[in-house]
Structure 1
Amino acid sequence: MGSPSGVVLNTAIDQVVAPAYWERAKTELMKNDRILRRIIPLYADDALGLPASPFVTLVRAVLSRQASRRTALRQWHQFARHHGEQPNPENIAILSSACLGQIGLPRRKAEYIIGISQHFVDGYIDVSRLQHLDNEAVIETLCAIRGVGRWTAEMFLIFNLRRADVLPLDDAALLQAISTHYFSGEPVSRFEAREVAQAWAPWCTVATWHLWRSVDAVAVHY
């Protein structure tokens, strides 16, 4: 992913190495959904990339929540410029929200990021343990952290744990894509989106990723 601010992102993070299930999922989705049959081949050479560190995934997801893509990227680049592209949670946990505010982060999100870093330091966020939990248990664990809601936890499931069947119904871009491709641009409720997504299981992550790509020229990555 390019950087408008000149920060060079870690190429290992941006490297496209699809999950093992990716090709099978695409085949089955194209068989079961006529819209995805048209969309998926448009991105045949792209896929979900390698995960960032768990801490970076959560930081970037927190910055992206209820923010435009441009704003979230600018704030991440500011953060990375001062604290590195692979920041150590121990170095962030000792900061004040005012310190992060000085580099352009909103006060509330700065507080959330510091709190998340403390959870890493304390061992509450243990990815080796999370990997053995089902999706809902991971969401429940992460949502116990201040500033982490269901959408943020779902982004962690998709981009860090690379789970195959995650359907983020609170995601505005996904609802926009469903509206565009399945409802001729009419507003879509979460119920209607869930009905459409019944044909995607157990590959909702792959369907979601391709629908994101259909409305955004650059692949999202957390």
Structure 2
Amino acid sequence: MHDPFDDDILQAHVDDVWATNGPLALEAADDPFERLVTSIVNQQLSVASARTIRNRLFETCDITPQALLQAEPERLRNCGLSRQKTEYVRNVAEAFLQHEWTRASFADLNDEMVIDALTDIRGVGIWTAKMFLMFALGRPDVFPVEDLGIRNGMTTLYGESDRSRMREIADSWRPRRSLASLYLWRAAG
């Protein structure tokens, strides 16, 4: 059985999801760079649009810093990336090469330090950095209130509230806010 959340509303939703689909789990990605590129592709797009562009990009290019820097920008744009996202992907590739980042590079950094390092890259904002913490590094206590799906899930379960109130509610989920977020995305539909 799962460890319960000390929140009756969230726990009831978790129990429903478990009964229907089994448990949700958060795992670190095999390749942090690839996961960061995925987050950039996903920025401000519908799930379906992002999936289509991501699939084209991953079929067309090796998703490594070297390969994305060597690819002609037009080739990346032909996958569906805008000029701006093409620049952002290349900026991330340059940063990974310059800093020689690997998963181990981030292991001793707390969440805020990782966010600070990543948001120094043009094209990586707080949302993207939090997605990296959750899905690239598997950090357990991230609450990405910047995400529309998270806010929609909060509204579905708790009613209308502002981001500040959502953060207050999420505080009771520490140190497992990342897992709670997976269930919020399910609540959003």
Same topology, TM > 0.5: yes
Superposition misfits of 4+ residues, deviation over 6 angstroms: none
- 1:148-183 CA distance string (max 9 Å, x none): 001101001101111111011101101101111101
Q: Whole-Å Cα distance in 2 between the matches of residues 111 and 97 of structure 1?
A: 8
Q: Whole-Å Cα distance in 2 between the matches of residues 52 and 176 of structure 1?
A: 29
- The 1:153–1:73 alpha-carbon spacing in structure 2 relative to 1, beyond 3 Å, is same
Q: Whole-Å Cα distance in 1 between the matches of residues 158 and 79 of structure 2?
A: 41
Contact 2:24 2:179 in 1 (8 A): no
**2:26 aligned residue (40, 48, 54):** 48
Task: Return the offset for 1:103.
Answer: 2.2
TM-score by length of structure 2 reads: 0.91
Q: Whole-Å Cα distance in 2 between the matches of residues 121 and 172 of structure 1?
A: 31
Q: Which residue of 2 aligns with 1:172?
A: 148
Q: Whole-Å Cα distance in 2 between the matches of residues 103 and 166 of structure 1?
A: 31
Task: Return the offset for 1:204.
Answer: 0.7
Q: Whole-Å Cα distance in 2 between the matches of residues 115 and 179 of structure 1?
A: 35
Q: Which residue of 2 aligns with 1:203?
A: 176
Q: Which has the higher contact order (CA 8 A, sep 6+)?
A: 2
Counterpart of 1:68 in structure 2: which amino acid? S
Q: Which residue of 2 aligns with 1:214?
A: 187
Q: Whole-Å Cα distance in 2 between the matches of residues 50 and 129 of structure 1?
A: 14
Asked whether 1:192 is paired with 2:168, we answer: no
Asked whether 1:83 is paired with 2:56, we answer: no
Q: Whole-Å Cα distance in 2 between the matches of residues 111 and 125 of structure 1?
A: 19
Counterpart of 1:193 in structure 2: which amino acid? M
TM-score by length of structure 1 reads: 0.78
Q: Which residue of 1 aligns with 2:123?
A: 147
Task: Return the offset for 1:208.
Answer: 0.7
Q: Whole-Å Cα distance in 1 between the matches of residues 94 and 42 of structure 2?
A: 20
**1:101 aligned residue (67, 77, 88):** 77
Q: How does 1:11-50 map to 2 (within 5 A)?
A: 26-29=2-5, 32-41=6-15, 42-43=17-18, 44-50=22-28
Contact 1:96 1:114 in 2 (8 A): no
Task: Return the offset for 1:46.
Answer: 3.3
Q: Whole-Å Cα distance in 1 between the matches of residues 86 and 42 of structure 2?
A: 13
47-56 vs 198-207, which deviates more? Answer: 47-56
Q: Whole-Å Cα distance in 2 between the matches of residues 102 and 161 of structure 1?
A: 30
Q: How does 1:125-164 map to 2 (within 5 A)?
A: 125-164=101-140
Task: Return the offset for 1:40.
Answer: 1.3
